[in-house]
Structure 1
């Protein structure tokens, strides 16, 4: 009798969990199906529109797919992607690190914020593309100059996201931490401020990653080799299918990086649940 009651209790206790997992799985499947149907619908619409235009204006999805495969098999696409990664990766890392660091400092220290506020307000409206001339003069036409442009774009996004997250940390939460023995600025920032602002910080990093992929094309305008230069060359020669093929490379790379980052973001914020 005792064993049967125990088994029945376990079974009845697991039934809600099984129903919950089943609901989550069905929602995931439904989400994927809707996403796939959206992509198929987009491709159908694209194909129908391409029938009304010459290939030089809007090539069909099939033509773009063939061009994509040709560029991939020839090695040109892989080479261009590797070249772009040589300035996208360091630019994104440096800009993100500096932006998050500055956001934490200025968001926490009122004195530092007041000292730097005029300079920040002057520099913030300047678009990264306006700094291309400085990039060429300071670093030359190379990967370092392109990484500089990308880092600028990553810096401001991460700075304001982190600044807002740190500034919005509740004073009551800080008081509770001090009551529990968390004293000193560094200890408070490490154990209270950063964990509390982590959702905003991670959102800024994720947004900055996407922005940096957009800046890859702009950073390569002045001749740095990579995907952006290939797009520019194809545009000059009116090879629209090649332009779209390389744009798809940027989209796919962003999709891969964003998906991996979302997985890490969920794990980093799991404790909040």
Structure 2
């Protein structure tokens, strides 16, 4: 009888089991040591406030401290000024952003699906992408007046240019194998477009919308700096005249909070719409 082989097999099995456990333990420890993202966000916020308070305490650039800015924000909320400015800016951003992204999705799909449409539209899109929307604000005011129309128009343009390129890239980047497979199975163009192209390009569209949202907020503030009677940009410009740094900081924080909340909502929508997509 050969009694060496079972012993070797048992030893080999024990060694393999031990190696597997040794490999699993560090992975488990690494997973246990990972810090949740919300905790990291809170830590970053606390550190940012601490640095801000330290710079204000040292008198760097005449910065107001967090408590002074919070008191000024409370005053503006109590008299309704901050609420009115936030509503005015948010209304302009939502209208311009919704119109811009809606048209961008349609144009981007047409450009990606039909080469003729792409050849006709792409030169104009690339041209206007090279011109910052902020540079068109004076022209828009001259042509459209100082009402809401020019402000919404430049916001619309900023959101449109950011989203249309992302949509086009999403449609063009769809795996050709998926389209060919659908055709082999008897699917028509309408079915392929609805069941293959739109789902595959959805992540690109949502990323373009997030980029367009940032452009929309930057544009509305610039538009309100030039011609407005209300809005966060207008309030910051008015505060600059009197060197009211507290009010300027309140406006900056309000813009950042509104933009962050809208971006998180878009990110939540992206995760729900693209649940099929593998994530890290």
* Residue 215, structure 1, aligned to residue 215, structure 2: no
Are the aligned partners of 2:174 and 2:197 in contact in 1 as well (CA < 8 Å)? Answer: yes
- Superposed CA RMSD in Å reads 2.1
TM-score (norm 2): 0.83
Consecutive unaligned residues in structure 1, runs of 5 or more: 1-21
Alpha-carbon shift at residue 63 of structure 1 (Å): 0.7
Alpha-carbon shift at residue 120 of structure 1 (Å): 2.6
Could you say which residue in structure 2 is the equivalent of 1:12? none
Which of residues 244, 249, 260 in structure 2 aligns to 1:255? Answer: 260
| CA-to-aligned-CA distance 1:205-237 (integer Å, 9 cap, x gap) | 122112212222112122222111001111121
Are the aligned partners of 1:162 and 1:201 in contact in 2 as well (CA < 8 Å)? Answer: yes
1:253 and 1:26 map into 2 onto residues whose CA distance is 34
Consecutive unaligned residues in structure 2, runs of 5 or more: 1-27
Could you say which residue in structure 2 is the equivalent of 1:72? 77
* Residue 52, structure 1, aligned to residue 58, structure 2: yes
Compared CA separation, residues 217 and 72, structure 1 to 2 (3 A): same
| CA-to-aligned-CA distance 1:102-149 (integer Å, 9 cap, x gap) | 111112211221223332332220111111133213321112211101
Runs of 4+ off more than 4 Å: 25-29
TM-score (norm 1): 0.85
2:252 and 2:34 map into 1 onto residues whose CA distance is 28
Alpha-carbon shift at residue 29 of structure 1 (Å): 6.2
* Residue 242, structure 1, aligned to residue 239, structure 2: no
Compared CA separation, residues 66 and 28, structure 1 to 2 (3 A): farther
Which of residues 19, 34, 46 in structure 1 aligns to 2:40? Answer: 34
Could you say which residue in structure 1 is the equivalent of 2:143? 138
| CA-to-aligned-CA distance 1:47-93 (integer Å, 9 cap, x gap) | 11112227x72111111111111111110000111111231111000
| CA-to-aligned-CA distance 1:169-201 (integer Å, 9 cap, x gap) | 1111110111222212x3322221111111111
Are the aligned partners of 1:135 and 1:145 in contact in 2 as well (CA < 8 Å)? Answer: yes
Compared CA separation, residues 168 and 43, structure 1 to 2 (3 A): same
Are the aligned partners of 2:206 and 2:266 in contact in 1 as well (CA < 8 Å)? Answer: no
Residue-pair matches, total: 249
Are the aligned partners of 1:161 and 1:201 in contact in 2 as well (CA < 8 Å)? Answer: yes
2:215 and 2:164 map into 1 onto residues whose CA distance is 14
Q: Based on CA coordinates, which of the two structures has the bigger radius of gyration?
A: 2
1:254 and 1:220 map into 2 onto residues whose CA distance is 16
Secondary structure of 2:243's partner? coil
Could you say which residue in structure 1 is the equivalent of 2:115? 110
Which of residues 152, 163, 177 in structure 2 aligns to 1:147? Answer: 152
Are the aligned partners of 1:107 and 1:163 in contact in 2 as well (CA < 8 Å)? Answer: yes
Compared CA separation, residues 121 and 35, structure 1 to 2 (3 A): closer
| CA-to-aligned-CA distance 1:236-268 (integer Å, 9 cap, x gap) | 211111100111111111122122222221111
Compared CA separation, residues 28 and 195, structure 1 to 2 (3 A): farther
1:58 and 1:192 map into 2 onto residues whose CA distance is 53
Deviates more, 1:88-97 or 1:204-213: 204-213
Map 1:197-208 onto structure 2 (within 5 A).
197-208=201-212
